[in-house]
Structure 1
Protein backbone atom coordinates (compact mmCIF):
# COMPACT_ATOMS: atom_id res chain seq x y z
CA UNK A 1 0.00 0.00 0.00
CA UNK A 2 1.34 3.49 -0.80
CA UNK A 3 2.53 5.80 1.93
CA UNK A 4 -0.44 8.04 2.77
CA UNK A 5 0.37 11.61 1.72
CA UNK A 6 0.43 14.31 4.35
CA UNK A 7 -0.70 17.83 3.46
CA UNK A 8 2.48 19.31 4.96
CA UNK A 9 4.85 16.82 3.27
CA UNK A 10 7.49 18.14 0.89
CA UNK A 11 6.42 17.29 -2.63
CA UNK A 12 8.95 15.39 -4.74
CA UNK A 13 10.41 16.70 -7.98
CA UNK A 14 9.01 20.21 -7.84
CA UNK A 15 5.43 19.00 -7.56
CA UNK A 16 2.96 20.73 -5.32
CA UNK A 17 0.90 19.29 -2.51
CA UNK A 18 -2.81 19.95 -2.97
CA UNK A 19 -4.68 19.44 0.32
CA UNK A 20 -8.34 18.42 0.35
CA UNK A 21 -9.38 21.90 1.50
CA UNK A 22 -7.68 23.66 -1.45
CA UNK A 23 -9.88 25.55 -3.90
CA UNK A 24 -8.80 23.43 -6.88
CA UNK A 25 -8.97 20.05 -5.11
CA UNK A 26 -11.42 18.01 -7.24
CA UNK A 27 -14.74 18.13 -5.38
CA UNK A 28 -15.72 14.69 -6.70
CA UNK A 29 -12.97 13.13 -4.60
CA UNK A 30 -14.71 14.29 -1.43
CA UNK A 31 -17.62 11.97 -2.31
CA UNK A 32 -15.35 8.92 -2.04
CA UNK A 33 -15.50 6.75 1.08
CA UNK A 34 -11.75 7.29 1.43
CA UNK A 35 -10.78 10.59 -0.23
CA UNK A 36 -7.06 11.36 -0.33
CA UNK A 37 -5.93 13.79 2.37
CA UNK A 38 -3.98 15.49 -0.38
CA UNK A 39 -2.80 15.02 -3.94
CA UNK A 40 0.65 15.48 -5.41
CA UNK A 41 0.40 17.48 -8.63
CA UNK A 42 2.93 18.32 -11.32
CA UNK A 43 1.52 20.81 -13.79
CA UNK A 44 -1.36 23.23 -13.88
CA UNK A 45 -4.61 23.60 -11.97
CA UNK A 46 -7.02 20.70 -11.96
CA UNK A 47 -10.30 21.22 -13.83
CA UNK A 48 -13.71 21.39 -12.19
CA UNK A 49 -15.36 17.96 -12.32
CA UNK A 50 -18.11 19.32 -14.59
CA UNK A 51 -15.52 20.14 -17.29
CA UNK A 52 -13.66 16.81 -17.15
CA UNK A 53 -14.40 13.53 -18.94
CA UNK A 54 -12.53 10.31 -18.20
CA UNK A 55 -11.57 8.20 -21.21
CA UNK A 56 -10.23 4.77 -20.24
CA UNK A 57 -9.91 1.23 -21.52
CA UNK A 58 -7.71 -1.72 -22.29
CA UNK A 59 -3.93 -1.64 -22.18
CA UNK A 60 -3.98 -4.29 -24.93
CA UNK A 61 -6.16 -2.16 -27.18
CA UNK A 62 -6.90 -2.93 -30.81
CA UNK A 63 -5.79 -0.44 -33.47
CA UNK A 64 -9.43 0.59 -33.98
CA UNK A 65 -9.86 1.10 -30.22
CA UNK A 66 -6.78 3.33 -30.12
CA UNK A 67 -8.10 5.31 -33.09
CA UNK A 68 -11.53 5.72 -31.46
CA UNK A 69 -10.01 6.86 -28.14
CA UNK A 70 -7.74 9.35 -29.90
CA UNK A 71 -10.62 10.78 -31.95
CA UNK A 72 -13.05 10.93 -29.00
CA UNK A 73 -10.56 12.63 -26.69
CA UNK A 74 -9.66 15.12 -29.41
CA UNK A 75 -13.30 15.94 -30.09
CA UNK A 76 -14.03 16.40 -26.38
CA UNK A 77 -10.92 18.55 -25.93
CA UNK A 78 -12.00 20.79 -28.81
CA UNK A 79 -15.33 21.25 -26.99
CA UNK A 80 -13.42 22.51 -23.95
CA UNK A 81 -13.39 19.38 -21.80
CA UNK A 82 -10.28 18.21 -19.98
CA UNK A 83 -9.54 14.52 -20.57
CA UNK A 84 -8.72 12.44 -17.47
CA UNK A 85 -7.03 9.06 -17.85
CA UNK A 86 -4.36 6.85 -16.31
CA UNK A 87 -1.23 7.10 -18.52
CA UNK A 88 -1.28 3.34 -19.16
CA UNK A 89 -0.51 1.77 -22.53
CA UNK A 90 -3.35 1.45 -25.02
CA UNK A 91 -6.54 3.46 -24.59
CA UNK A 92 -5.24 5.71 -21.79
CA UNK A 93 -2.20 6.87 -23.79
CA UNK A 94 -4.37 7.35 -26.89
CA UNK A 95 -6.81 9.52 -24.92
CA UNK A 96 -4.01 11.72 -23.57
CA UNK A 97 -2.46 12.00 -27.05
CA UNK A 98 -5.80 12.85 -28.66
CA UNK A 99 -6.41 15.68 -26.20
CA UNK A 100 -2.90 17.07 -26.60
CA UNK A 101 -2.95 16.85 -30.40
CA UNK A 102 -6.25 18.76 -30.40
CA UNK A 103 -4.65 21.55 -28.36
CA UNK A 104 -6.59 20.58 -25.25
CA UNK A 105 -5.77 19.75 -21.67
CA UNK A 106 -5.40 16.33 -20.11
CA UNK A 107 -4.83 15.03 -16.59
CA UNK A 108 -2.95 11.78 -15.98
CA UNK A 109 -3.77 10.09 -12.68
CA UNK A 110 -0.95 7.69 -11.87
CA UNK A 111 -0.77 4.79 -9.37
CA UNK A 112 2.74 5.65 -8.19
CA UNK A 113 4.69 8.62 -6.93
CA UNK A 114 5.68 11.31 -9.43
CA UNK A 115 9.23 9.98 -9.14
CA UNK A 116 8.23 6.55 -10.50
CA UNK A 117 6.29 7.12 -13.74
CA UNK A 118 5.25 3.88 -15.41
CA UNK A 119 5.38 2.67 -18.05
CA UNK A 120 8.84 4.18 -18.50
CA UNK A 121 8.32 4.63 -22.24
CA UNK A 122 5.61 7.19 -21.37
CA UNK A 123 8.05 9.58 -19.66
CA UNK A 124 8.00 11.97 -22.62
CA UNK A 125 4.18 11.86 -22.75
CA UNK A 126 4.09 12.49 -18.98
CA UNK A 127 6.33 15.54 -19.38
CA UNK A 128 4.10 16.91 -22.13
CA UNK A 129 1.01 16.33 -19.99
CA UNK A 130 2.63 18.20 -17.08
CA UNK A 131 3.21 21.21 -19.34
CA UNK A 132 -0.26 21.21 -20.92
CA UNK A 133 -2.31 19.69 -18.12
CA UNK A 134 -1.30 17.86 -14.95
CA UNK A 135 0.07 14.65 -13.50
CA UNK A 136 -1.73 13.65 -10.30
CA UNK A 137 -1.17 11.00 -7.64
CA UNK A 138 -2.08 10.33 -4.05
CA UNK A 139 1.31 8.65 -3.47
CA UNK A 140 4.18 10.64 -2.01
CA UNK A 141 6.95 8.59 -3.62
CA UNK A 142 7.75 5.28 -5.26
CA UNK A 143 5.65 2.45 -6.60
CA UNK A 144 3.75 1.04 -8.23
CA UNK A 145 2.70 -1.51 -5.66
CA UNK A 146 0.86 -4.11 -7.72
CA UNK A 147 -2.66 -4.44 -9.08
CA UNK A 148 -4.24 -2.86 -5.99
CA UNK A 149 -2.54 0.43 -6.81
CA UNK A 150 -4.25 0.52 -10.20
CA UNK A 151 -7.68 -0.05 -8.62
CA UNK A 152 -6.97 2.79 -6.18
CA UNK A 153 -5.93 5.00 -9.10
CA UNK A 154 -9.09 4.14 -11.04
CA UNK A 155 -11.36 5.37 -8.23
CA UNK A 156 -9.65 8.77 -8.50
CA UNK A 157 -10.04 8.90 -12.29
CA UNK A 158 -13.78 8.24 -12.02
CA UNK A 159 -14.29 10.74 -9.19
CA UNK A 160 -12.40 13.50 -11.00
CA UNK A 161 -14.71 13.48 -14.03
CA UNK A 162 -18.36 14.18 -14.77
CA UNK A 163 -18.52 11.03 -16.92
CA UNK A 164 -16.34 8.04 -17.72
CA UNK A 165 -16.18 6.54 -21.21
CA UNK A 166 -14.77 3.03 -21.51
CA UNK A 167 -13.63 2.83 -25.13
CA UNK A 168 -12.51 -0.79 -25.15
CA UNK A 169 -12.15 -3.34 -22.33
CA UNK A 170 -10.05 -6.49 -22.23
Structure 2
Protein backbone atom coordinates (compact mmCIF):
# COMPACT_ATOMS: atom_id res chain seq x y z
CA UNK A 1 0.00 0.00 0.00
CA UNK A 2 1.37 3.42 -0.93
CA UNK A 3 1.13 5.91 1.91
CA UNK A 4 -0.06 9.43 1.16
CA UNK A 5 1.51 12.67 2.32
CA UNK A 6 0.09 16.09 2.98
CA UNK A 7 1.05 18.69 0.41
CA UNK A 8 2.96 20.66 3.04
CA UNK A 9 5.05 17.62 4.03
CA UNK A 10 5.72 16.78 0.38
CA UNK A 11 6.73 20.37 -0.36
CA UNK A 12 9.09 20.47 2.63
CA UNK A 13 10.75 17.21 1.58
CA UNK A 14 11.02 18.46 -2.01
CA UNK A 15 12.64 21.65 -0.76
CA UNK A 16 15.22 19.61 1.20
CA UNK A 17 16.12 17.69 -1.96
CA UNK A 18 16.27 20.87 -4.06
CA UNK A 19 18.55 22.62 -1.58
CA UNK A 20 20.79 19.56 -1.42
CA UNK A 21 20.99 19.42 -5.21
CA UNK A 22 22.05 23.08 -5.17
CA UNK A 23 24.88 22.35 -2.71
CA UNK A 24 28.13 22.63 -4.64
CA UNK A 25 30.63 24.67 -2.63
CA UNK A 26 30.08 23.05 0.78
CA UNK A 27 29.47 19.48 1.97
CA UNK A 28 25.88 18.30 2.13
CA UNK A 29 25.94 18.25 5.92
CA UNK A 30 26.33 22.06 5.98
CA UNK A 31 23.03 22.30 4.14
CA UNK A 32 21.51 19.77 6.55
CA UNK A 33 22.58 21.93 9.52
CA UNK A 34 21.09 25.07 8.02
CA UNK A 35 17.79 23.31 7.25
CA UNK A 36 17.61 21.81 10.74
CA UNK A 37 18.44 25.13 12.39
CA UNK A 38 15.67 26.91 10.47
CA UNK A 39 13.10 24.15 10.85
CA UNK A 40 11.77 24.64 7.33
CA UNK A 41 13.37 24.07 3.96
CA UNK A 42 10.58 25.99 2.25
CA UNK A 43 11.43 29.11 4.25
CA UNK A 44 15.01 28.81 3.08
CA UNK A 45 13.98 28.53 -0.58
CA UNK A 46 12.07 31.78 -0.08
CA UNK A 47 15.12 33.50 1.37
CA UNK A 48 14.08 33.54 5.04
CA UNK A 49 17.36 33.91 6.98
CA UNK A 50 15.86 34.41 10.44
CA UNK A 51 18.07 32.84 13.11
CA UNK A 52 21.00 32.14 10.77
CA UNK A 53 24.50 33.49 11.41
CA UNK A 54 26.55 35.19 8.69
CA UNK A 55 28.23 31.97 7.56
CA UNK A 56 24.92 30.16 7.17
CA UNK A 57 23.36 33.17 5.45
CA UNK A 58 26.19 33.19 2.92
CA UNK A 59 25.70 29.45 2.36
CA UNK A 60 21.97 29.97 1.82
CA UNK A 61 22.61 32.78 -0.64
CA UNK A 62 24.86 30.46 -2.63
CA UNK A 63 22.19 27.73 -2.60
CA UNK A 64 19.45 30.09 -3.75
CA UNK A 65 21.62 31.35 -6.61
CA UNK A 66 21.57 27.81 -8.02
CA UNK A 67 17.95 27.00 -7.20
CA UNK A 68 15.05 27.13 -9.63
CA UNK A 69 11.40 26.15 -9.54
CA UNK A 70 12.06 23.14 -11.77
CA UNK A 71 14.28 21.65 -9.03
CA UNK A 72 11.32 21.68 -6.65
CA UNK A 73 8.98 20.16 -9.24
CA UNK A 74 11.47 17.40 -10.08
CA UNK A 75 11.99 16.67 -6.39
CA UNK A 76 8.24 16.27 -5.83
CA UNK A 77 8.01 13.91 -8.81
CA UNK A 78 10.98 11.87 -7.52
CA UNK A 79 9.50 11.49 -4.03
CA UNK A 80 6.15 10.42 -5.48
CA UNK A 81 7.73 7.93 -7.88
CA UNK A 82 9.93 6.41 -5.18
CA UNK A 83 7.00 6.00 -2.81
CA UNK A 84 5.11 4.19 -5.55
CA UNK A 85 8.11 1.84 -5.78
CA UNK A 86 8.01 1.13 -2.04
CA UNK A 87 10.78 3.55 -1.00
CA UNK A 88 10.17 6.48 1.30
CA UNK A 89 12.20 9.57 2.02
CA UNK A 90 13.14 10.75 5.51
CA UNK A 91 14.63 14.23 5.78
CA UNK A 92 16.28 16.02 8.67
CA UNK A 93 12.97 17.85 9.23
CA UNK A 94 10.92 14.67 9.69
CA UNK A 95 10.07 13.20 13.09
CA UNK A 96 11.23 9.81 11.79
CA UNK A 97 14.78 11.07 11.14
CA UNK A 98 17.06 8.79 13.20
CA UNK A 99 18.02 10.62 16.37
CA UNK A 100 21.20 8.57 16.74
CA UNK A 101 22.42 10.25 13.55
CA UNK A 102 22.08 13.73 15.04
CA UNK A 103 25.02 12.99 17.36
CA UNK A 104 27.31 13.51 14.37
CA UNK A 105 28.28 16.91 13.02
CA UNK A 106 28.11 15.60 9.47
CA UNK A 107 24.66 14.03 9.41
CA UNK A 108 23.04 13.83 5.94
CA UNK A 109 20.06 15.98 4.92
CA UNK A 110 18.05 12.89 3.96
CA UNK A 111 17.99 9.12 3.68
CA UNK A 112 15.94 6.87 1.41
CA UNK A 113 14.47 3.81 3.09
CA UNK A 114 13.04 0.54 1.81
CA UNK A 115 11.41 -1.34 4.64
CA UNK A 116 10.69 0.18 8.01
CA UNK A 117 12.64 1.75 10.82
CA UNK A 118 10.95 1.55 14.21
CA UNK A 119 11.44 3.52 17.46
CA UNK A 120 13.26 0.57 19.05
CA UNK A 121 16.00 0.82 16.42
CA UNK A 122 17.78 3.42 18.53
CA UNK A 123 18.95 0.34 20.51
CA UNK A 124 21.36 -0.53 17.73
CA UNK A 125 24.94 -1.71 17.35
CA UNK A 126 26.87 -1.37 14.10
CA UNK A 127 29.20 -4.25 13.20
CA UNK A 128 32.17 -3.26 11.05
CA UNK A 129 34.72 -5.81 9.89
CA UNK A 130 37.02 -6.76 7.03
CA UNK A 131 37.97 -10.45 7.02
CA UNK A 132 36.83 -12.31 10.14
CA UNK A 133 33.34 -13.33 9.03
CA UNK A 134 33.06 -16.05 11.67
CA UNK A 135 33.59 -13.58 14.49
CA UNK A 136 31.29 -10.99 12.92
CA UNK A 137 28.52 -13.58 12.52
CA UNK A 138 28.89 -14.71 16.14
CA UNK A 139 28.63 -11.08 17.27
CA UNK A 140 25.54 -10.48 15.12
CA UNK A 141 23.76 -13.49 16.61
CA UNK A 142 24.65 -12.47 20.16
CA UNK A 143 23.44 -8.89 19.68
CA UNK A 144 20.22 -10.02 18.00
CA UNK A 145 19.60 -12.52 20.81
CA UNK A 146 20.02 -9.62 23.25
CA UNK A 147 17.22 -7.72 21.51
CA UNK A 148 19.44 -5.15 19.80
CA UNK A 149 19.12 -4.00 16.20
CA UNK A 150 22.18 -4.85 14.11
CA UNK A 151 23.51 -2.32 11.61
CA UNK A 152 26.07 -3.02 8.90
CA UNK A 153 26.86 -2.03 5.33
CA UNK A 154 25.83 -4.37 2.53
CA UNK A 155 28.99 -4.25 0.47
CA UNK A 156 30.91 -7.48 1.18
CA UNK A 157 30.33 -11.16 1.94
CA UNK A 158 31.09 -10.39 5.60
CA UNK A 159 28.38 -7.71 5.68
CA UNK A 160 25.83 -10.03 4.09
CA UNK A 161 26.70 -12.76 6.60
CA UNK A 162 26.20 -10.33 9.49
CA UNK A 163 22.70 -9.44 8.30
CA UNK A 164 21.82 -13.07 7.60
CA UNK A 165 22.97 -14.19 11.06
CA UNK A 166 21.00 -11.48 12.85
CA UNK A 167 17.86 -12.24 10.86
CA UNK A 168 18.18 -15.98 11.50
CA UNK A 169 18.42 -15.20 15.22
CA UNK A 170 15.08 -13.39 14.98
CA UNK A 171 16.56 -9.90 15.11
CA UNK A 172 16.22 -6.74 13.07
CA UNK A 173 18.89 -5.30 10.81
CA UNK A 174 19.43 -2.01 9.00
CA UNK A 175 21.65 -2.21 5.92
CA UNK A 176 23.49 0.88 4.71
CA UNK A 177 23.83 0.76 0.94
CA UNK A 178 26.93 1.71 -1.02
CA UNK A 179 24.91 3.27 -3.84
CA UNK A 180 21.51 4.64 -4.69
CA UNK A 181 18.57 2.65 -3.40
CA UNK A 182 17.14 2.32 -6.94
CA UNK A 183 20.42 1.87 -8.83
CA UNK A 184 20.63 -1.53 -10.57
CA UNK A 185 24.13 -2.35 -9.31
CA UNK A 186 23.71 -1.35 -5.68
CA UNK A 187 22.66 -4.74 -4.29
CA UNK A 188 25.07 -6.74 -6.46
CA UNK A 189 25.09 -10.40 -5.40
CA UNK A 190 23.17 -9.64 -2.20
CA UNK A 191 19.69 -9.10 -3.61
CA UNK A 192 18.23 -12.09 -1.72
CA UNK A 193 19.64 -10.90 1.60
CA UNK A 194 18.44 -7.38 0.84
CA UNK A 195 14.91 -8.67 0.28
CA UNK A 196 14.92 -10.30 3.71
CA UNK A 197 16.29 -7.14 5.31
CA UNK A 198 13.55 -5.07 3.69
CA UNK A 199 10.94 -7.38 5.20
CA UNK A 200 12.44 -7.51 8.70
CA UNK A 201 14.26 -4.19 8.90
CA UNK A 202 15.30 -1.58 6.38
CA UNK A 203 17.67 -0.75 3.55
CA UNK A 204 19.02 2.78 3.93
CA UNK A 205 20.83 5.06 1.47
CA UNK A 206 21.93 8.69 1.92
CA UNK A 207 22.50 9.09 -1.84
CA UNK A 208 20.40 10.03 -4.83
CA UNK A 209 18.38 6.94 -5.79
CA UNK A 210 20.18 6.37 -9.11
CA UNK A 211 23.73 6.79 -7.75
CA UNK A 212 26.10 4.07 -9.00
CA UNK A 213 27.85 2.32 -6.08
CA UNK A 214 31.55 2.86 -5.56
CA UNK A 215 34.17 0.14 -5.15
CA UNK A 216 35.37 1.49 -1.82
CA UNK A 217 33.52 2.73 1.28
CA UNK A 218 32.65 6.43 1.14
CA UNK A 219 32.48 8.97 3.94
CA UNK A 220 28.69 9.15 3.54
CA UNK A 221 28.36 5.39 3.90
CA UNK A 222 30.46 5.44 7.08
CA UNK A 223 28.55 8.42 8.51
CA UNK A 224 25.25 6.58 8.20
CA UNK A 225 26.58 3.19 9.34
CA UNK A 226 28.07 4.71 12.49
CA UNK A 227 25.35 7.33 12.79
CA UNK A 228 22.38 4.96 12.90
CA UNK A 229 23.98 3.03 15.76
CA UNK A 230 24.12 3.86 19.44
CA UNK A 231 27.53 2.16 19.56
CA UNK A 232 29.91 0.37 17.18
CA UNK A 233 31.71 -2.99 17.34
CA UNK A 234 34.82 -3.29 15.17
CA UNK A 235 35.51 -7.00 14.74
CA UNK A 236 38.83 -6.79 12.88
CA UNK A 237 40.83 -4.60 10.54
CA UNK A 238 44.25 -3.14 9.98
CA UNK A 239 45.69 0.34 10.15
CA UNK A 240 43.87 2.71 7.82
CA UNK A 241 41.07 0.25 7.06
CA UNK A 242 37.29 0.64 7.30
CA UNK A 243 37.27 -0.44 10.95
CA UNK A 244 39.68 2.25 12.04
CA UNK A 245 37.92 4.93 9.99
CA UNK A 246 34.57 3.98 11.49
CA UNK A 247 36.02 3.89 15.02
CA UNK A 248 37.58 7.33 14.60
CA UNK A 249 34.35 8.77 13.25
CA UNK A 250 32.30 7.21 16.04
CA UNK A 251 34.58 8.49 18.79
CA UNK A 252 34.43 12.03 17.37
CA UNK A 253 30.65 11.99 17.85
CA UNK A 254 31.00 11.01 21.51
CA UNK A 255 29.69 7.50 20.97
CA UNK A 256 31.37 4.38 22.32
CA UNK A 257 33.35 1.74 20.41
CA UNK A 258 33.85 -1.89 21.36
CA UNK A 259 36.67 -4.08 20.05
CA UNK A 260 37.72 -7.71 20.70
CA UNK A 261 40.87 -8.31 22.71
CA UNK A 262 42.66 -9.84 19.72
CA UNK A 263 42.21 -6.66 17.67
CA UNK A 264 43.52 -4.54 20.51
CA UNK A 265 46.58 -6.79 20.87
CA UNK A 266 47.42 -7.02 17.16
CA UNK A 267 46.86 -3.48 15.92
CA UNK A 268 48.35 -0.34 17.51
CA UNK A 269 45.70 1.88 15.91
CA UNK A 270 43.25 0.76 18.59
CA UNK A 271 45.41 2.28 21.34
CA UNK A 272 45.99 5.41 19.29
CA UNK A 273 42.28 5.86 18.57
CA UNK A 274 41.27 5.28 22.17
CA UNK A 275 44.01 7.12 24.04
CA UNK A 276 41.43 9.61 25.35
CA UNK A 277 38.93 6.90 26.20
CA UNK A 278 35.81 5.73 24.44
CA UNK A 279 36.99 2.24 23.46
CA UNK A 280 36.19 -0.86 25.52
CA UNK A 281 37.98 -4.14 24.91
CA UNK A 282 35.75 -7.20 25.34
CA UNK A 283 36.78 -10.82 25.85
CA UNK A 284 33.96 -12.38 23.85
CA UNK A 285 30.60 -11.64 22.27
CA UNK A 286 28.71 -12.44 25.47
CA UNK A 287 30.60 -9.63 27.19
CA UNK A 288 29.95 -7.42 24.17
CA UNK A 289 26.20 -8.01 24.39
CA UNK A 290 26.12 -7.30 28.11
CA UNK A 291 28.04 -4.03 27.75
CA UNK A 292 26.09 -2.96 24.67
CA UNK A 293 22.71 -3.54 26.33
CA UNK A 294 23.81 -1.60 29.40
CA UNK A 295 25.06 1.26 27.27
CA UNK A 296 21.99 1.68 25.06
CA UNK A 297 19.62 1.32 27.99
CA UNK A 298 21.57 3.93 29.94
CA UNK A 299 20.96 6.32 27.03
CA UNK A 300 17.31 5.34 26.59
CA UNK A 301 16.05 8.54 28.20
CA UNK A 302 17.11 10.31 24.97
CA UNK A 303 14.65 10.00 22.09
CA UNK A 304 16.72 8.61 19.26
CA UNK A 305 14.01 8.04 16.65
Deviation (angstroms), 1:87? 0.7
The structure carrying a bigger strand percent of its residues is: 1
Instruction: Classify the secondary structure of the residue corresponding to 2:180.
Output: coil
Listed as ranges, the gaps of 5+ residues in structure 2 are: 1-17, 22-71, 239-305
Larger gyration radius, structure 1 or structure 2? 2
Match of 1:165 among 233, 253, 257: 233
Listed as ranges, the gaps of 5+ residues in structure 1 are: none
Contact 2:180 2:186 in 1 (8 A): no
Computed over aligned residues only, the root mean square deviation of the Cα atoms, in angstroms, reads 2.5
Contact 1:91 1:168 in 2 (8 A): no
Partner of 1:43: 115
Q: How does 1:1-170 map to 2 (within 5 A)?
A: 4=20, 8=76, 9-10=78-79, 12=82, 13-48=85-120, 50-58=122-130, 61=131, 65-116=132-183, 117-144=185-212, 146=214, 150-169=218-237
User: What is the alpha-carbon distance in structure 2 between the residues aligned to residue 125 and residue 57 of structure 1?
Assistant: 18
Structure 1 residue ranges (4+ consecutive) displaced by more than 4 angstroms after TM superposition: 3-9, 46-50
TM-score with structure 1 length normalisation?
0.83
Deviation (angstroms), 1:23? 2.5
User: What is the alpha-carbon distance in structure 1 between the residues aligned to residue 216 and residue 168 of structure 2?
Assistant: 31
Deviation (angstroms), 1:118? 3.1
User: What is the alpha-carbon distance in structure 1 between the residues aligned to residue 163 and residue 213 of structure 2?
Assistant: 23
The structure carrying a bigger helix percent of its residues is: 2
Structure possessing the higher relative contact order (Cα contacts under 8 Å, 6 or more residues apart):
1
User: What is the alpha-carbon distance in structure 2 between the residues aligned to residue 66 and residue 107 of structure 1?
Assistant: 18
Contact 2:206 2:220 in 1 (8 A): no
The number of equivalent residue pairs is: 163
TM-score with structure 2 length normalisation?
0.48
Instruction: Classify the secondary structure of the residue corresponding to 2:171.
Output: coil
Deviation (angstroms), 1:47? 4.8
User: What is the alpha-carbon distance in structure 1 between the residues aligned to residue 171 and residue 121 of structure 2?
Assistant: 16
List per-residue Cα deviations over 1:7-38 (Å, max 9, x = no partner).
85416332001121322211122233332222
Farther-moved stretch of structure 1 (111-120 vs 34-43): 111-120
Contact 2:152 2:162 in 1 (8 A): yes
